[in-house]
């Protein structure tokens, strides 16, 4: 039988419980952010505000872009990505159009094409070592590792090569990272250091290549600063 869910608390580390995948499915619900890995459930701490700001900003941009160009679907945690020996819940995942047959209302069967994990104090080792190796082995095509910790903001990017290995891919000299899997999508690393993210609609319009006069009209309507490439 599945173990009883622990009473609500804000732990210093994650709660870990032993159970089968079938027990995990019975135990978990939509309000629980947890992952099942090799017979163990990891229940995560509530994320901090900066973590959520990064996830919300990037996921919104990616979703607008993917929807506009009909490239696939963008999903956010908690949503299950079922792998060989785990049920992960990445912060953001992109499922390309050709992979959509693997997407159901409950989960994605197999790897997402692009996965984004936003690093918190308690998730550094898991995101940078454990998940990096697992996502590489399972066939994730592109992995973004974004650090949300105070004083450590930054990002690392990995793209799968023909041999199935993740290769690090840097941003360009201007600090812009251009995705391989979400073709044409780019974003600026210096956004991570700003106190406030740029307006998502204006930023999407520039990323999507809208004419300058359209972007300027949107800027004047919204009264926000432009996000320039």
Residue 28, domain member (yes or no):
yes
Evaluate whether 48 touches 74 at the Cβ level (below 8 Å): no
The answer to whether residue 206 sits within a structural domain is: no
Give the whole-angstrom CA distance, residue 185 versus residue 194. 20
Q: Which of 93, 131, 127, 98 is nearest to 112 (CA)?
A: 93
Whether residues 183 and 117 fall in one domain: yes
Per-residue pLDDT at 5: 43
Q: Are residues 83 and 163 in the same domain?
A: yes
Among 101, 141, 100, 148, which Cα is nearest to 122's?
148
How far is 36 from 202, CA to CA, in rounded Å?
A: 38
- If asked whether residues 40 and 80 sit together in one domain, one would say no
Secondary structure of 29-56 as H, E, C letters: CCCCCEEEECCEEEECCCCCHHHHHHHH
Residue 146: domain span = 51-56+70-195
Is 111 in the same domain as 15? Answer: no
Residue 201 in any domain: the answer is no
Angle, helices 200-207 vs 49-68, to 10°: value is 40
Residues 105 and 182 in one domain: yes
Does 65 map to a domain?
A: no
Structural domain includes residue 217: no
Question: Do 81 and 189 belong to one domain?
Answer: yes
Are 184 and 78 contained in the same domain?
yes
User: b/e string for 25-45 if b means 16 or more Cβ within 10 A?
Assistant: bebbeeeebbbbbeeebbbbb
Residues 172-208 as b/e (b if ≥16 CB within 10 A, e otherwise) read: eeeeebebebbeebbbbbebbeeeebbbbbbbbbbbb
Q: Is the same domain home to 82 and 32?
A: no
The C-alpha atoms of residue 97 and residue 103 are separated, in whole angstroms, by 10
* Tally of domains in the chain: 2
**One digit per residue, pLDDT tens: the chain, 229 residues?**
444 444 333 345 578 899 999 998 988 877 777 899 999 998 887 888 999 999 999 999 999 999 999 999 999 999 999 999 999 999 999 999 999 999 999 999 999 999 999 998 878 888 999 999 999 999 999 999 999 888 888 999 999 999 999 999 999 999 999 999 999 999 999 999 888 999 999 999 999 999 988 888 888 887 555 444 4
Residue 207 lies in a domain: no
Task: Tell whether 90 and 191 lie within a shared domain.
Answer: yes
Same domain (yes/no): 120, 166: yes
Residues ≥6 apart with Cβ < 8 Å to 188: 174, 175, 176, 177, 227, 229
Closest residue by Cα to residue 191 from 146, 144, 158? 146
CATH of the domain at 112: 3.90.1570.10
Tokens of 37: 């890995």
- The answer to whether residues 159 and 122 belong to one domain is yes
Return the pLDDT at 9. Answer: 39
Specify if 229 maps to a domain.
Answer: no
Cis peptide before 78 (omega within 30 of 0): yes
Can you tell me whether residue 115 is helix, strand or coil? strand
Q: Do 41 and 77 belong together in one domain?
A: no
In a domain, 223, yes or no: no
């Amino acid at each position: 039988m599945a173990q009883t869910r622990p009473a609500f608390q804000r732990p210093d580390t994650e709660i870990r419980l032993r159970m089968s995948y079938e027990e995990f499915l019975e135990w978990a619900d939509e309000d629980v952010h947890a992952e099942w890995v090799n017979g163990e459930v990891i229940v995560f701490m509530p994320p901090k505000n900066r973590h959520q700001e990064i996830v919300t900003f990037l996921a919104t941009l990616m979703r607008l872009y993917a929807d506009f160009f009909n490239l696939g679907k963008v999903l956010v945690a908690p949503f299950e990505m079922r792998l060989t020996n785990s049920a992960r819940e990445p912060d953001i995942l992109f499922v390309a159009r050709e992979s959509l047959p693997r997407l159901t209302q409950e989960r994605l069967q197999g790897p997402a094409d692009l996965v984004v994990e936003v690093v918190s104090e308690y998730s550094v080792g898991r995101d940078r070592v454990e998940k990096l190796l697992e996502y590489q082995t399972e066939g994730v095509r592109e992995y973004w590792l974004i650090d949300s910790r105070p004083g450590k903001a930054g990002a690392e990017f990995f793209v799968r090569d023909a041999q199935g290995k993740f290769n690090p891919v840097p941003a360009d000299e201007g600090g812009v990272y251009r995705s391989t899997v979400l073709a044409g999508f780019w974003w600026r690393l210096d956004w991570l250091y700003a106190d406030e993210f740029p307006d998502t609609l204006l930023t999407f319009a520039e990323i999507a290549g809208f004419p300058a006069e359209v972007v300027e009209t949107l800027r004047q309507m919204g009264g926000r600063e432009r996000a320039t490439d």
